[in-house]
Structure 1
Amino acid sequence: MTTNSDSRRCGDHMSWTAKEFGASHEGVPVALLADGSEPKPVYFDAGSGGGGKTVSDWWIYDGQSRAPLATHLRSSCACGWRGEQRYVLDWSEMIDSPCDIDISGPREDWKRHIEEVRARTVPLPVELEALLERLEQQISALADDAPLAALRAVAALERITEDIAPHAACAAEADDLSWSTIATALGLTEKEAQSRLLHHQLKGMGSRRVRL
């Protein structure tokens, strides 16, 4: 059976993340059994020392150590989405680690899902999107040429966002939109959207108390 130390060397064989959406849309390949179902997590006992852990990584399901045998892989996302396409899992290809298995199919399916998520988000004004891109390029260049100036620029942006985000969060909630609508507009799950708005609102309250 493949160990976790082996799996950590495999990079995007384990999970995929889009920076703008974070944990809300983290993608992973998932194992499928012959009947098309996803296997239950497998518990591994640590032995006489006590403890143990439950795992569900796709490479665990190799038919050994009480784990059922997976026959296919498909793409999945933390938001609950599952890819429709199934990819045959040929265990004979895995010689040393999960890195040996081609998971490009599930990864590409997840990327297309992310594009669909992005397409449903609230659009930014074209001028603002271009400005943000220029800011990122200029500050990135400053980080190499004038790192202290880059840090000042970052601090200025942090002050701007700290001032604006609480107001925007309160205004968004005051619009009486459903959490489903807010989550879709931000490209987040409903739980993450609620957490983000609350975070901004609480930071705004703390900032006002400090200024007083």
Structure 2
Amino acid sequence: MTEQFGESHEGIAGAVLAGGEEPKPVYLDFGSGTGRGVETGEWWAYDGRSGRPRAAALRAACACGWRGESYPVDWEERVDGSRPEPDTGEAYRDWSEHIRAVERRTVPLPDELTDLMDRLEDQLAALAEQAPVAALRAATALERLTADIAQEAAYAIQEDEVPWERIGTALGLSPDRAESLLTHYLLRQ
């Protein structure tokens, strides 16, 4: 689950053990022999196989540390040998509400700027289909423009000595991620 805040607020339907604790992420090797696998905390990986604990419940879990309400997982096999698939919809709705709460705390953008960015996105998407090289040229020019403006803004924020917590909240990011972002633009050559 991802939305407008990227990895700062990436969400999963995470596992909850019988005692209510959250298990450590597990590494799943898909047996290719190449060492390719994935580390995850998603509920489905905690099925009791291969020495992994079995999830008693699932809940929305956000990269920022926020956790939603727990919903039980039924691992009992049916007569036909299948297992019921848990409904992750409630966890997704909890996470979506968390994202809306984060959005409400961010600094609002002027309506005309939001409208302009929406129109620009539509026009660039259409251009990418019709003339991909022209779309790449436009995106590159836009990237330079936004980086220059971001650097100016970063210097202004630095001069104002705004606390990282406040910057993070305004951007919908953690204070550490906000500091990293500003540092990136401040040190940009």
Please state which band the TM-score falls in when normalised by the shorter chain.
0.7 to 0.9
The residue aligned with 2:14 is: 30
Q: 1:159 deviation in Å?
A: 2.1
Instruction: Say which SS state the counterpart of residue 145 (structure 2) adopts.
Output: helix
Equivalent position amino acid for 2:43 in 1: W
Q: Which one is further off, 130-139 or 155-164?
A: 155-164
The residue aligned with 1:7 is: none
8 Å CA contact 1:44, 1:54 repeated in 2: yes
The residue aligned with 1:73 is: 58
Equivalent position amino acid for 2:74 in 1: D
Aligned equivalents of 2:113, 2:27: Cα separation in 1: 49
Q: 1:155 deviation in Å?
A: 2.2
Aligned equivalents of 2:97, 2:64: Cα separation in 1: 14
8 Å CA contact 1:183, 1:190 repeated in 2: yes
8 Å CA contact 1:93, 1:101 repeated in 2: no
Aligned equivalents of 1:23, 1:68: Cα separation in 2: 26
Aligned equivalents of 2:26, 2:9: Cα separation in 1: 24
**Equivalenced residues, count:** 182
Instruction: Say which SS state the counterpart of residue 14 (structure 2) adopts.
Output: strand
Aligned equivalents of 2:165, 2:103: Cα separation in 1: 15
The residue aligned with 1:108 is: 93
The residue aligned with 2:131 is: 146
Aligned equivalents of 2:60, 2:140: Cα separation in 1: 39
The residue aligned with 2:76 is: 92
Normalised to the residue count of structure 2, the TM-score between the two structures is 0.83
Q: Which one is further off, 33-42 or 103-112?
A: 33-42
Structure 1 position 198 matched with structure 2 position 187: no
| Structure 1: runs of 5+ lacking an equivalent | 1-15, 207-212
Q: 1:126 deviation in Å?
A: 1.1
Residue by residue, what CA displacement relative to the aligned partner does 1:25-45 show, whole Å, maximum 9, x if unpaired? Answer: 010112112222223445789
Q: After the TM superposition, which parts of structure 1 deviate over 4 Å for at least 4 consecutive aligned residues?
A: 41-45, 51-55, 93-98
The residue aligned with 2:158 is: 173
Aligned equivalents of 1:53, 1:26: Cα separation in 2: 16
The residue aligned with 1:186 is: 171
Q: 1:102 deviation in Å?
A: 2.4
- Higher helix proportion (structure 1 or 2): 1
Aligned equivalents of 1:189, 1:179: Cα separation in 2: 8
Q: 1:118 deviation in Å?
A: 1.0
Shift in alpha-carbon separation, 1:126–1:56, aligned structure 2, 3 A: closer
Q: 1:67 deviation in Å?
A: 2.7
What percentage of aligned pairs have identical amino acids?
53
8 Å CA contact 2:61, 2:67 repeated in 1: yes
